[in-house]
Structure 1
């Protein structure tokens, strides 16, 4: 086999992942969820038949791919190092590919070899209650007659694809495993649109609340949605380049009948990026609305304090004048001088209130 073309560094990072040990330092995955036992699902099919079964680690010792039928091997739980290494030995995967499968924090990428194509993407899930999103890494190895997929957890995200395989006379069974790889990529992109739709609905509801009565809770929600949009952007931009590389089909792993579908997925990815940028702009606008609302509330409070202070300024001035320590001052000897002073203070205050009212300073709507 010729030297593979790799689109990244070629240095092993065995200090991060030990390929000779099955021990796990953590009992949870990257999303903080408990690790589940690995599960291997095998589907072999052709245009006339489809068989599905579960494999154990012991079954892999005598497992041999059937060259006459198409194979889809899906592995849930990539934390089992021995299992992934065993599958790598069976299908002659490059050690760097095995390493990348085990490292579940990779960005979407593609590596092309003579005998197979290796690509990675991320599958997103939106959590409406917390306005957050989680993701799992999906690794695919596409050969001439087999497809390997590796997932962190068993979520049923690809169950619709299995249902299509179970249907007799389905197009997905008549075409090769390259079409199956397209179908899986298409489901990943569809999941992105589903998450984006949820984010869009949440942002619309949030915008209505902001216009009525913005609070710190809305500010937190804006930050949550912006974080989701950033995570989506980090995943989709490199995925677009991955799919674009697949559409060039330099190694010939995709049949001509599959190429229009791949280009359609690429178009969907471009449309998704445009929609995502629109929502990101909307969230930035909502942040501006929130800051403007907070600034307006502060201005109203300062104006209220200013009005109160101005009402007391004439009274303070009058009291200060008549409180000066002089023996001879007008009106000090008046019998009703105190009430005249109070009346003068009240009259000036009423005149100022009238002026404030005419200028609409006493209304919170201006």
Structure 2
């Protein structure tokens, strides 16, 4: 039996019991066997308005990486990590950029809720990104961590999902406007791509719920009931991620800090508006799913009532026949039709006649149809 993500996370969280704060222990969906073969990938973009350099850093190149060399030259650095299951790698990057041990611990714990922590030299953000699986009507989520400094941006993803590829494409274009701005604008662009992905998932969930509603209005089965539960679970997961993210972005856009320039604040407020719009649309879908559950239960109740009514009709048809048979079965010597040679046929005709009269009454009252 496949374990749920929640049960896995609880089992992994138990490994940290008794450890000191800041202990670097990976908590996520990659098990120990897969971690040995799945190697993290560290890529870096070094850019300014005129040029852009991309490279993948090996362990040796990462050890020799010096941020000050690029800062003095007026360059900006975006370092991205695919795969956060290697605690040693996260510690190396943390030491290289002087990240607090608690920040490194949060990066390794992929079960974090969206949050923001401000430090003297950087601001730390946690978000979640989702992908909708149409075949299972479920979602696959990953944690995305941001560390924004004054001239650098670090991003940590659980795996290579391609969510940031549109931003990379924009940066690779010659004379790209995004390269003329600071790393704070780059952080905004990546946050915006995360929120845009939410709307893509929301659209898929909305389409699935509409298709499900059409089926429910005809002849729902247990398959539709399972689908309703799946979509409700998806909506809960989305709300759990976006609700705190809304507060994170609101904090960034309303409070002055040293990392987001005033020119970037309007863009952050736009992302905040998108999260509010997303939550409103999500609540509408959740209400629709609750209504679908009511429709399903009403449909099941109606089918049960129809079956009970059919059984009741059959029982009522046999009641007069049972009564007549009981009367003629009494042990009296003198009874009408008892000695008549046609008495049996008269009794059967009486039973059949009463049954036909009752069927006519039931038909006129529409008890013999599926209409209510």
Q: Same fold per TM (> 0.5)?
A: yes
* Structure 1 unaligned blocks of 5 or more: 1-10
Equivalent residues in 2 for 1:1-366, closer than 5 Å: 14=19, 19=24, 26-28=32-34, 36-65=38-67, 66-67=70-71, 68-366=74-372
Q: Structure 1 pair 288/72, CA: closer, same or farther in 2 (3 Å)?
A: same
Q: Residue 139 of structure 1 contacts residue 149 of structure 1 at CA under 8 Å; is this kept in 2?
A: yes
Q: How far off its partner does 1:327 sit?
A: 2.3
Q: Structure 1 pair 83/123, CA: closer, same or farther in 2 (3 Å)?
A: same
Distance in 1 (CA, whole Å) between partners of 2:60 and 2:303 is 68
SS in 2 for 1:134: strand
Q: Structure 1 pair 12/325, CA: closer, same or farther in 2 (3 Å)?
A: closer
Q: Residue 43 of structure 1 contacts residue 50 of structure 1 at CA under 8 Å; is this kept in 2?
A: yes
Q: Residue 25 of structure 2 contacts residue 105 of structure 2 at CA under 8 Å; is this kept in 1?
A: no
SS in 1 for 2:193: helix
Distance in 2 (CA, whole Å) between partners of 1:342 and 1:127 is 64
Q: How far off its partner does 1:326 sit?
A: 2.1
Q: How far off its partner does 1:169 sit?
A: 1.6
CA RMSD of aligned residues (A): 1.9
Q: How far off its partner does 1:255 sit?
A: 1.1
Bigger drift between 301-310 and 59-68 goes to: 59-68
Matched residues, number: 350
Q: Which runs of 4+ in 1 moved over 4 A?
A: 15-18
Provide the TM-score with structure 1 as the length reference.
Answer: 0.92
Q: How far off its partner does 1:28 sit?
A: 4.9
Q: Structure 1, residues 26-68: CA drift from partner, whole Å, max 9, x if none? A: 3358xxxx97210000001111111000001121221101112
Q: How far off its partner does 1:214 sit?
A: 0.6
- Between Structure 1 and Structure 2, the one with more helix by share is 2
Q: Residue 24 of structure 2 contacts residue 108 of structure 2 at CA under 8 Å; is this kept in 1?
A: no
Q: How far off its partner does 1:14 sit?
A: 3.5
Distance in 2 (CA, whole Å) between partners of 1:28 and 1:317 is 76
SS in 2 for 1:51: strand
SS in 2 for 1:58: helix
Q: How far off its partner does 1:263 sit?
A: 0.4
Q: Structure 1, residues 126-158: CA drift from partner, whole Å, max 9, x if none? A: 000110001000000000000000000011110
Q: Structure 1 pair 12/110, CA: closer, same or farther in 2 (3 Å)?
A: farther
Q: Structure 1 pair 17/117, CA: closer, same or farther in 2 (3 Å)?
A: closer
Q: Residue 25 of structure 2 contacts residue 108 of structure 2 at CA under 8 Å; is this kept in 1?
A: no
* Structure 2 unaligned blocks of 5 or more: 1-15
